[in-house]
Structure 1
Amino acid sequence: METTIDFRLIRQLWMFLAVAEEQHFGRAAKRLNMSQPPLTEQIKVLEQSLNLRLFERSRQGTKLSPAGAAILPAVRQFAGQAERLEQVVREIASGQSGVLRIGAITSSMLDIVPSLLSALRKSYPQVTMLVQEIDTVEGMPSLERGDLDLALVRLDGDEDYGMATMPLTEERLAVALPKDHVQAMESRVKIRALADEQFVMSARQVNPLYFDRLTAICRSHGFSPRVLREVRSIASQIAYVSCGQGVALVPASTQRLAPDNVVFRLLRERIMVRTAALAWNPHRHHPLVDFAVSWLGSRHKVGAAKP
């Protein structure tokens, strides 16, 4: 079925957004570099085509109608996507061959992402790579919307996330302790010895499965962790430990983030956790994603990709 882009509708939606945000036709017209009468006329045409009344007009001013308020979030999302499209077009027009958007949790930005970017630049010197820090919980929705092409997140378990995933790294669990903690004298710490401690944990809202996995590990060893703080990153966990605000169960490699007054001790029990996984949308083909999946898959052998 052949479709065409209704550029008039797109322009009218931009006008609607301007009026909705300015709450004044005159200010919206100035923002759009046009006079007010044509703006008013185009909003009327939009209302007729949608069969909706979008604004309530009175002597006190202009405000959104219930219907206008209902469509505003979707129009704002459209506007953001249009701006991203415009950016891509400008980059391609200037001689660049493509754009890859990568979202990553903090720990992956410290190890996996730099080497991946280096490999991409070597093979695709004209590509533009945009990296942003995300929480695990943001990864899948951003991939589904098309805001990201790749997400490096922490996926502990074999849940069906609706995206293609590939485990990358798995590490032994350690405990971060204040340097003067009694357990800091031990070469390895039994997890049961932490039963009376206050814990700084990665927030459940950031990564529910990982939070539940750590609490389940504690319960399997006879105690429920007393969570004093829930934070958004491993770096924050270590910072709170540094301030004497508890202990933290963290991957062993994050010892490189520790200040002098924090020590890491492996748990005596060999407990492994997945620390990074690659996720991408299999319904959105991107040749640079194919390269990244192949390159990372050849260097990390934790598990097979899951479609």
Structure 2
Amino acid sequence: MSGIDFRLIKQLWLFLAVAEEEHFGRAAQRLGMSQPPLTEQIKVLEHSLKLQLFDRSRRGTRLSPAGAALLPAVRQFAGQLQQLERVVREVAAGHSGVLNIGAITSAMLETMPPFLDELRKRHPNLTVFIREIDSVDAIPYLETGELDLAFVRLEGEIGSGIATLPLAEDRLAVALPADHRLASLTRIKFNALEGEQWVMPARQVSPVYFDMLTSACRTHGFAPRVLHEVRSVTSQIAYVSCGQGIALIPASMRKLVPENVVIRPLREKLMVVTAAVAWNTQRHHPMVDVAISLLKTHQVSPGVKAV
């Protein structure tokens, strides 16, 4: 294994500052150094890579096409370095372990708070880092080790050593503008929603959930007219509030709706697992085992598929 080029790491860090500030002077100030050595280090980096990373003019400093292509990977690398630094500091401070958890918004609101409270009671020296993700991001993050646990919507055979455990299920209900023609009903038949404009969770965010909802529509004799695809349940509610359509959401989300939105249950009982936890069985982490054991005490009924 070849040695780590620490000089290159430093130069990439400097490159990131200049790229984000679009000005050598401001970047130098941000880095706590003078401008001449920063300029020199960028020139050395360009020479070693045989690339021009910036276009310099009187108007300022702009990324070249090569610099723009390099920037996303450097940003990702910088984020990983910062995460590593946080973990090292926590371990050095005597903390017993670190868990990196990703979660969709609804899981952060409903499922995770009681779980985290109990976990911290049992392991007060555990450090937990949480980041908001989309369900579709869970598998690659778990495979690379960026996450230890993911609270998301997943279903079926995942493969690649990824295990899932359903945690919470809920009945689907309809979110409607308060002045909608169906708002006066206490329960709504599914086929009464034909012809409505729909606000749906984006398929690229949670493919299985999107497909399940559209399949339910087809089962009841129509294809949904999807006006908006959004990233979360809270976004669905917001769009309904703005008169942009109706939405199927978990009934428990009624506490998030504003006054101009009403939640009405469907006559048909359509259940959805609102959260499942996923982890990588090929990456052993003792605190993951502890977390899964704790979560199993709150597992939903066996056989329910996570979506």
Question: Normalized against structure 1, the TM-score is what?
Answer: 0.79
Contact map agreement 2:202 2:231 (CA 8 A) in 1: yes
Contact map agreement 2:135 2:205 (CA 8 A) in 1: yes
Q: Which residue of 1 aligns with 2:264?
A: 265
Contact map agreement 1:169 1:302 (CA 8 A) in 2: no
Aligned-partner Cα distance in 2 for 1:272–1:132: 27
Structural mapping, 1:187-202, within 5 Å: 187-202=186-201
Contact map agreement 2:148 2:280 (CA 8 A) in 1: yes
Question: Aligned to 1:160, what secondary structure does the other structure show?
Answer: coil
Aligned-partner Cα distance in 1 for 2:144–2:117: 27
Worse overlay, 268-277 or 24-33? 24-33
Q: Which residue of 1 aligns with 2:239?
A: 240
Deviation at 1:252, TM superposition (A): 2.2
Structural mapping, 1:1-307, within 5 Å: 4-18=3-17, 52-53=50-51, 55=53, 69-155=68-154, 157-160=155-158, 162=160, 163-303=162-302
Residue 265 to residue 34, structure 1, CA distance change in 2 (3 Å): closer
Aligned-partner Cα distance in 1 for 2:91–2:274: 35
Contact map agreement 1:100 1:130 (CA 8 A) in 2: yes
Question: Normalized against structure 2, the TM-score is what?
Answer: 0.79
Which residue identity lines up with residue 11 of structure 1 in the other structure? K
Contact map agreement 2:54 2:67 (CA 8 A) in 1: no
Residue 65 to residue 249, structure 1, CA distance change in 2 (3 Å): closer
Cα deviation, 1:254-291, whole Å, max 9, x if unaligned, reads: 22323444433332222222211112233433322222
Aligned-partner Cα distance in 1 for 2:61–2:188: 65
Question: Aligned to 2:100, what secondary structure does the other structure show?
Answer: strand
Deviation at 1:185, TM superposition (A): 4.3
Which residue identity lines up with residue 252 of structure 1 in the other structure? A
* CA RMSD, Structure 1 to Structure 2 (Å): 3.5
Contact map agreement 2:177 2:260 (CA 8 A) in 1: yes
Aligned-partner Cα distance in 1 for 2:29–2:217: 61
- Equivalent pairs counted in the alignment come to 303
Residue 3 to residue 303, structure 1, CA distance change in 2 (3 Å): farther
Residue 86 to residue 186, structure 1, CA distance change in 2 (3 Å): same
| Seq. identity, % | 63
Deviation at 1:202, TM superposition (A): 1.8
Segments of structure 2 that go 5 or more residues without pairing to the other structure are none
Contact map agreement 2:55 2:62 (CA 8 A) in 1: yes
Deviation at 1:129, TM superposition (A): 1.9
Deviation at 1:100, TM superposition (A): 2.0
